[in-house]
Amino acid sequence: MTTGPKQGPRFDIADIVRAHRARLGRSTRLSPQQRRVLTDIAQCRTAVLGGHVDRCTGCGHEHPAYNSCRNRHCPKCQALAQEKWIAERRARMLDVKHFHVVFTVPAELRALAAFAPREVFGALFRCAQSTLTEFGESRLEAMIGATLVLHTWTRDLRFHPHVHAIVTGGGLSRDGQRWCAVGAKFLFPVRAMSRVLCGKMLTELRKLYDHGAFLAFDDFRDPEAFDRLARRLAGTSWNVYAKPSFDTGENVLAYLGRYTHRVGIANSRLLAVSTDAVTFRTKGSGTATMAPVDFLRRFIRHVLPDGFHKIRHIGLYASAAVDKLALARHALCMRPTRPCALTWRERLTQVTGRDVGRCPLCSAEVRSIPVVRSRDPPRRAA
């Protein structure tokens, strides 16, 4: 028995953008990055961006396929990017147990993070990286490997910056001869990591403050405001959470792929959309309902600064640690692997579950006919 192609989501965030962007612009000051994201999402997979028509060579069936915007914040453009990323990382992933560690910005810092996201997110990355590296060196006397991913949202799209880290359950010894594994259920003490993270972040924020990175922040108009915030943060329990992930590298990749290319909300979570309200699934069986403009306002809060890398690799997984990674693979008796080179059609077939080069009606081969973008100038006559 054969199954037909997978059905797409019933509702689309792009429709909400097209219907309510003007009202959002009248009530909310949008940054250039936010305006571009909204434009890209609204135009994604429409005639504005051009595309092609798939015409069946057998039955003549035609189906238009428009180009994607490829914006990293677009919920429709991440599936292929995720599969490509996983394929590229497969050759570098160590086949060992990994742990999932989460570093969260305290609530007292969220307003500052919203004001200066590049500075605060960058500081969080640097502090999380150095915390993991130092614990690996001091507790294991080894170099660990980790991939870190920034998320800024909760399931109901509130602003909640945090970094997910997938960390090897051990590391390469200092002499490069053996693998130093941690226990089956324990990576590093989370309370100790929390204290170290707190100290490092306060040092980083002090440097940024002294260099004028927060001059226009209203809460710091009082010269004593930053010192009061620092004292309050020093007495706060910083949330560092750790749990085991998976035992094999392949399972870790599938797990990590869900985090690396996730956006604030996917179309599949939309339950109902009308002119007055948007309802979407949150955690478990929970739901949230709000006005479309409020929904878009929450959505655009998670647009990252231009050029900001939300995925970073450290230790054995850093791009500069090729030699160290090779030693670790040798110590673990792992065979060398190569990235799986697939064409975009082959990768799309993996994602959609059907051969996009075949007609969905008769399975004959299809041929693509380019479609001119609607915003392109008319072609000159021959």
Measure CA 349 to chain center: 23
The angle formed by the CA atoms of residues 124, 83 and 64, to the nearest 5 degrees, is 120
Distance CA 112, CA 119 (A): 9
In a domain, 279, yes or no: no
Three-state secondary structure along 84-119?
A: HHHHHHHCCCCCCCEEEEEEECCHHHHHHHHHCHHH
The domain tally of the chain equals 2
Least confident interval from 35-49, 116-130, 331-345: 331-345
DSSP string, 110-153: HHHHHHSHHHHHHHHHHHHHHHHHHHIIIIISEE-EEEEEEEEE
The answer to whether residue 58 scores a pLDDT higher than 70 is yes
More confident residue, 324 or 349: 324
What is the reported pLDDT for 382? 41
Per-residue model confidence as pLDDT tens digits over 266-296: 999 999 999 999 999 999 899 999 999 999 9
Q: Decide if 112 is inside a domain.
A: yes
208 belongs to a structural domain? yes
Query: Do 141 and 251 reside in the same domain of the chain?
Result: yes
Highest mean pLDDT among 122-126, 363-367, 375-379: 122-126
Q: Flag the least confident range among 2-11, 40-49, 60-69, 282-291.
A: 2-11
Q: Are residues 30 and 144 in the same domain?
A: no
pLDDT at 346: 66
Look over the chain and give the mean of its residue pLDDT values, rounded to a whole number: 88
**227: helix, coil or strand?**
helix
Residues 152-157, mean pLDDT to the nearest whole number: 96
Range of the domain at 26: 13-73+343-371
- Is residue 2 predicted with pLDDT exceeding 50? no
The residues, ordered by sequence, that sit 6+ positions from 193 with a Cβ below 8 Å of its Cβ are 101, 131, 135, 240, 242
The span from the CA of 43 to the CA of 284, in Å, is 32
Which band of pLDDT confidence, cut at 50, 70 and 90, is reported for residue 92?
Answer: confident
Same domain, 132 and 208: yes
Do 52 and 184 sit in the same domain of this protein? no
- Does residue 283 belong to any structural domain of this protein? no
Which comes out higher in pLDDT, residue 336 or 191? Answer: 191
Mean pLDDT for the stretch of residues 291-312: 97
pLDDT at 257 over 80: no
Q: Say yes or no: 103 and 199 in one domain.
A: yes
pLDDT value for 7: 53
Same domain, 174 and 313: yes
pLDDT higher than 60, residue 142: yes
Res. 66 pLDDT band, cuts 50 70 90: confident
Higher pLDDT, 260 or 346: 260
In this structure, the answer to whether residues 128 and 162 fall within a common structural domain is yes
- Quick one: pLDDT at residue 4? 42
What pLDDT sits at residue 5? 44
Residues 231, 175: one domain?
A: yes
348 and 326, same structural domain?
A: no
Mean pLDDT value of segment 191-208: 96
Q: What is the mean pLDDT of residues 225-248?
A: 87
Q: What is the mean pLDDT of residues 14-39?
A: 96
The answer to whether position 28 is within a domain reads yes
pLDDT digits (tens, 9 = 90+) for 323-344: 999 999 999 999 876 666 666 5
Are 26 and 173 contained in the same domain? no
Are residues 310 and 171 part of one domain? yes
Same domain, 168 and 67: no
Which pLDDT score, from 0 to 100, does residue 247 have?
Answer: 67
High-pLDDT (> 70) share of the chain, %: 89
In a domain, 271, yes or no: no
Residue 188 within any structural domain of the chain: yes
Dihedral sign from CA coordinates of 143, 148, 154, 155: negative
- Residue 114 lies inside a defined structural domain of this protein: yes
| pLDDT for residue 333 | 93
pLDDT(381) > 70: no
Total-model pTM: 0.87
- How far is residue 16's CA from residue 296's CA, in Å, rounded to a whole number? 8
Average pLDDT over residues 195-213: 96
At residue 54 the predicted structure's pLDDT band, cuts being 50, 70 and 90, is confident
